Amino acid sequence: MPRTLPRSDAPPNVTIRDVAARAGVSVATVSRVFNQKGPIREETVRRVMEVAGELQYVPHAGARSLSTRSTRTIGVVLPDLHGEFFSEVIRGIDLAARELGYHLLLSGSHADRDEMRAVVQAVRGLVDGLIIMSPDLDPEALCADLPLGIPAVLLNAKAEGRPSITIDNAAGARDMVRHLASLGHGSIAFIGGPARNVDAEQRRRGFRAGVRIRDIRAAEYAGDFTEDSGYEAGKKILASSPRPTAVFAANDSMAIGALSAFRDAGVRVPQDLALVGFDDIPIARFLDPPLTTVKVPIAELGRRGLQILIGGESEPARLTTSLVVRRSCGAQPNKDRKTRKE
């Protein structure tokens, strides 16, 4: 029998921010009270609980009263609906949703908090739960804006008291640097993602840690996760002196753009310059040459998010990455037996 998400009969516009304002404390304090974390005065705990009772605020989906009202629909809010990465996330959510008898309602927030708030308010009463990916926004502030009565799971972000799934981006970036170093590369250019993006920052941090450990000469170039930004960064890399021997793009889309820039300049990959990416979007294996990349279980991220939402799990989950070695890095077959190869 299809499972049904718990719903609440409390006023749908009551949030943790409302409780904090009425009690005269911070949002963080309210969160600590309900999660029983940190030293908090008994008087503060009593006041927060009294206000929560007055407002009918219940923080955890699992503790909410059950109701027979159900739309059998899940709201999915992503930064964008364009591109292979987001398509794979949606595919994973959709596969799991169909197995459990749910349908999806999709929207893009475009990394804008006002837009995110408007989307969440618009689907209130239309969905049984939300899956939200918003790596450019403060997750604590985002959760404070979520109305009560709609269980939510965060993808690629963490907030206290909210179920979430993250990717071990930093470890994946370190693994790629180690792989390039094993191939003899002592100079690597890195094309980073947007400054406010959590995934981009974690990948940047992993790259920096990797080159520092191995004393590799590194240069960083700005990007925004799009093919166009990869193309522009690729042109700058080709104009640099001395030119690096390898380029590591923080996502596959930018790697594709850089590959186009190299091809336009007559630079061969991997003969003249090694190139690697991050994510392993479906098109990566069909490029010429096929792209070496850090594999993120993208569809699994979406599928797991839906399962956590329906199952009412509260503990954060983290998915690991793995290397997929193809011809763009110039690796020879069986160079690293612990690394998956195609």
Instruction: Find the CATH number of the domain harbouring 196.
Output: 3.40.50.2300
Half-sphere exposure of 78 (CA within 13 A, CB side): 21
Tally of CB atoms within 10 A around 132: 27
Domain count, the chain: 2
Amino acid type, 34: F
The answer on 22 and 142 residing in a single domain is yes
Residue 338 binned pLDDT confidence (cut-offs 50, 70, 90): very low
The answer on 73 and 218 residing in a single domain is no
pLDDT in the model for residue 170: 97
pLDDT in the model for residue 37: 65
Domain membership of residue 331 (yes or no) is yes
The answer on 153 and 254 residing in a single domain is no
Mean pLDDT in residue range 156-168: 84
Domain membership of residue 36 (yes or no) is yes
pLDDT in the model for residue 60: 43
Kindly calculate the radius of gyration of the chain based on its CA atoms and give it in whole angstroms.
23
Mean pLDDT in residue range 2-12: 50
The answer on 94 and 144 residing in a single domain is yes
Q: Which of 79-93, 153-167, 281-295 has the lowest mean pLDDT?
A: 153-167
The answer on 176 and 195 residing in a single domain is yes
Q: Which of 100, 97, 149, 98 is nearest to 120 (CA)?
A: 149
The answer on 326 and 237 residing in a single domain is yes
Helix residue spans in 66-168 (DSSP H): 84-99, 113-122, 139-145
Mean pLDDT in residue range 267-279: 97
Domain membership of residue 67 (yes or no) is yes
Residue 131, strand partner residues: 76, 153
d(CA 88, CA 281): 8
The answer on 184 and 139 residing in a single domain is no
Compute the mean pLDDT over every residue in the chain, rounded to the nearest whole number: 85
d(CA 104, CA 76): 7
The answer on 258 and 142 residing in a single domain is no
Domain membership of residue 158 (yes or no) is yes
Q: Does pLDDT of 68 surpass 60?
A: no
Higher pLDDT, 62 or 301: 301
Per the structure, the complete domain to which residue 101 belongs is given by: 16-162
- Cβ-Cβ contacts under 8 Å for 29 (sequence gap 6 or more): 20, 40, 44, 48
Q: Which of 30-34, 68-72, 231-235 has the lowest mean pLDDT?
A: 68-72
Q: Point out the domain boundary residue: 107, 137, 162.
A: 162
The answer on 277 and 180 residing in a single domain is yes
Q: Does pLDDT of 69 surpass 50?
A: yes
Domain membership of residue 302 (yes or no) is no
Sheet holding 103-108, edge to edge: 103-108, 73-78, 129-133, 152-155, 164-167, 317-319
Domain membership of residue 313 (yes or no) is no
The answer on 237 and 285 residing in a single domain is yes
Q: Which H or E run includes 249?
A: strand 246-249
The answer on 231 and 278 residing in a single domain is yes
Instruction: Give the model confidence (pLDDT) of 39-56 as tens digits.
Output: 788 888 889 888 888 887
Domain membership of residue 199 (yes or no) is yes
d(CA 321, CA 335): 19
d(CA 263, CA 272): 11
Residue pair 254/282 in contact (Cβ under 8 Å)? The answer is no
Q: Does pLDDT of 74 surpass 80?
A: yes
Instruction: Give the model confidence (pLDDT) of 291-324 as tens digits.
Output: 999 999 999 999 999 988 888 776 778 999 999 9
Q: Point out the domain boundary residue: 144, 162, 180.
A: 162
Mean pLDDT in residue range 211-222: 95
DSSP state of 192: -
The answer on 178 and 158 residing in a single domain is no
Residue pair 341/333 in contact (Cβ under 8 Å)? The answer is yes
Produce one character per residue of 162-193: b if its CB has 16 or more CB atoms within 10 Å, e if not. Answer: bbbbbbbbbbbbbbbbebbbebebebbbbbbb
Domain membership of residue 146 (yes or no) is yes
Q: Point out the domain boundary residue: 138, 162, 186.
A: 162
